[in-house]
Amino acid sequence: MARLVVKGGRPLEGKVAVRGAKNSALPLLAASILAGEAVTLHRIPRLDDIAVMLDILRSLGLGVATETSPYGLTVHIVPGLTDYRVPAPLTRRMRSSILVMGALLAKGGQVRIAYPGGCVIGSRPIDLHLNGLRKLGAQVTEEGGTITAAAPRLRGAHIHLDVPSVGATENLMMAAVLAQGATVIGNAAREPEIVDLQIFLNRLGARVRGAGTGTIRIDGVERLGGGRHEVIPDRIEAATYMVAAAISRGDVEITGVIPQHLDAVTAKLREVGVTVTTGDHWVRVRCPRRPRAVDLTTLPYPGYPTDAQNQFLALMCTAEGTSVINETIYEQRLKIAGELRKMGARIHTDGRVAVVRGVPSLTGAPVQASDDLRGAASLVLAGLGAQGTTVVEGAQFIDRGYQDFEGVLKKLGAEVYRLKPEKVDSLSNPGTARHPGAG
Ligand code: EPU
């Protein structure tokens, strides 16, 4: 367990550049399995989830080399599929391991994979992935927690998703690119990460169109080549720093973003009275005073993202008035309410709905992050806006999705530092604990 110590009350100020999007990098890495020649991906964020995906690719026989650049990792991948079995210890560490299914089936004709783990935010079934693959002609069996699927060659089909699942859309796109004939995915997810995947696949020689709309058409081709691609900026990382600026009553410019991807977050922040200005590749967030309470409902893109809901919930704790937060994507994504209450928040939850009565200020407290990286990061945000010291236990969850989170916040003027597991004994007095970067 890692702990983050946050001393609140300092307005964040300055500039921060966002990294490549985790939720784009993961499917792009999975899609590299399909390539017939070498692939290079730029701006891959350095995260625990990415490390798991790279290990999965290596375990399947692909050649993987990484280089560090100022914009994240550059990853070179050389084809060489030798295995179709995804090691269970890796699968259990991350939900997105399921994304290799479609590509493995398409390229190697078979796949064996354990049920995936990942953030504990709800039941997170994979029925849409498996039913879609069945529609494409795969024989899928589920036994003892392991899924096996096989098909000599997948066949194009018309697939309508019950809900616009991001992962199922991506998995089925990857499965369909080498299938015989055309595939149409109806009620497809419209997230920017889906568009990024389409661009990458087409760069390799696939024929995919419609990403970003509810209908995606894939005309199967015989083989894919190789190519280079740069991952889109992480809109959720950007949203998190936007809320960090607002919650600390600061003034922060977030650079290297695609502002349109942030429209829903920008609109909500403006609604609560935060000043958001945008340029070609940046957004600036200023919040000199207490925000006012507004209601929020999470929705698939282009609605307000669930992955930025906990951050907004933390912001609403000190808003003027009462807000109602409705989480429609995951049944367990209001878990941090209990921890925020320890900091003085007045939140009542009922299932997927939270009613937040704003208080003038939160008070620092020891809080426990659970296995949801967004919740963990949001507790740190709450600490930034609180009076006194907050100690967030379980801060290692943040490393799944944020590269050097506390380093970025520190650069913006926050007083935050990490107590590594071996330093935990000195926690009884966080004020005197050695700063990890202090030598
Ligand atoms: N769903 C099903 N059946 C399925 C698949 C999904 O019922 O077969 C349901 C889920 O239970 C959920 C909804 O559909 O209620 C949406 O799930 P989706 O499949 O869209 O999510 P995902 O692909 O597993 C990605 C992100 C998540 C993000 C969601 C929603 C990646 C790697 N993960 O997950 O990111 O919350 O889309 O936008 O892209 C995060 O980064 O913190 C994170 C959890």
Q: What's the DSSP call for residue 397?
A: G
Cα 276 from Cα 138, distance rounded (Å): 48
CA of 349 to the centre of ligand 1 (A): 22
Task: Give nearest CA residue, ligand 1 atom 32.
Answer: 23
> For atom 16 of ligand 1, which residue has the closest CA?
165
How remote is the CA of residue 171 from the centroid of ligand 1, in Å? Answer: 12
Ligand 1: atom nearest CA of 26 is 32
Residue nearest (by alpha carbon) to ligand 1 atom 5: 126
Tokens of residue 301, six digits: 């893109």
Task: For ligand 1, pick from 26, 128, 163 the residue to mutate: most ligand atoms within 8 Å of CB.
Answer: 163
Answer whether 45 contacts ligand 1 (Cβ < 6 A): no
Query: Pocket of ligand 1, candidates 166, 336, 370, 403: which has the most ligand atoms within 8 Å of its Cβ, to mutate?
Result: 166
Closest atom of ligand 1 relative to the 119 alpha carbon = 44
CB-CB contact of 377 with 398 (8 Å): yes
Q: Report which protein residue has its CA nearest ligand 1's atom 14.
A: 165
Strands lying side by side in the sheet with 282-286 = 13-17, 251-255, 282-286, 275-278
Catalytic residue among 114, 119, 340, 369: 119
The confidence score (pLDDT) of residue 115 equals 87
> What is the structure's pLDDT at 119?
59
DSSP-assigned letter for residue 84: -
Residue of minimum CA distance from atom 17 in ligand 1: 165
Strand runs (DSSP E) across 231-380, as ranges? 251-255, 275-278, 282-286, 296-297, 322-326, 346-350, 353-357, 366-368
Instruction: Report CA(389)–ligand 1 centroid distance (Å).
Output: 34
161 alpha carbon – ligand 1 mean position (Å): 13
Q: Is the CB of 145 under 6 A from ligand 1?
A: no
Taking the C-alpha atoms of residue 260 and residue 274, their distance in angstroms, rounded to an integer, is 18
Mutate to test the pocket of ligand 1, among 165, 193, 231, 304 (most ligand atoms within 8 A of CB): 165
How many Cβ atoms are within 10 Å of 331's Cβ, its own excluded? 13
Q: Quick one: pLDDT at residue 422? A: 52
Phi then psi for residue 412, to 5 deg, are -85, 5
pLDDT value of position 425: 40
Closest-CA residue, ligand 1 atom 7, reads 125
Tokens 């999007």 correspond to 21
Q: What domains appear along the chain, each with residue ranges and CATH number?
A: 3-18+233-432 (3.65.10.10), 22-223 (3.65.10.10)
| pLDDT at residue 144, rounded to an integer | 85
**Is 307 touching ligand 1 by the criterion CB < 6 Å?**
yes
Atom of ligand 1 at shortest range from CA of 129: 8
Residue-level pLDDT at 123:
66
- Rounded Cα distance between 317 and 357, Å, is 7
Question: Ligand 1 centroid to 97 CA: how many Å?
Answer: 13
**Tokens 């995951």 found at:** 330
How far away, in angstroms, is 167 Cα from ligand 1 center? 6
CA–CA distance, 270 with 274 (Å, rounded to integer): 5
Q: Measure the CA–CA gap between 297 and 301, rounded to whole angstroms.
A: 12
Whether 119 is catalytic = yes
Q: What is the pLDDT of residue 438?
A: 30
CA of 305 to the centre of ligand 1 (A): 11
Residue 387 DSSP label: B
* pLDDT digit string (tens) for the chain, length 439 residues: 899 999 999 999 999 999 999 999 999 999 999 999 999 999 999 998 999 999 999 999 999 999 998 889 999 999 999 999 999 999 988 889 999 999 999 999 999 999 887 556 666 789 999 999 999 999 999 988 899 999 999 999 999 999 999 999 999 999 999 999 999 999 999 999 999 999 999 999 999 999 999 999 999 999 999 999 999 999 999 999 999 999 999 999 999 999 999 999 999 999 999 999 999 999 999 998 999 999 999 999 999 999 999 999 999 999 999 999 999 999 899 999 999 999 999 999 999 999 999 999 999 999 999 989 999 999 999 999 999 999 999 999 999 999 999 999 999 999 999 987 654 443 333 333 333 333 2
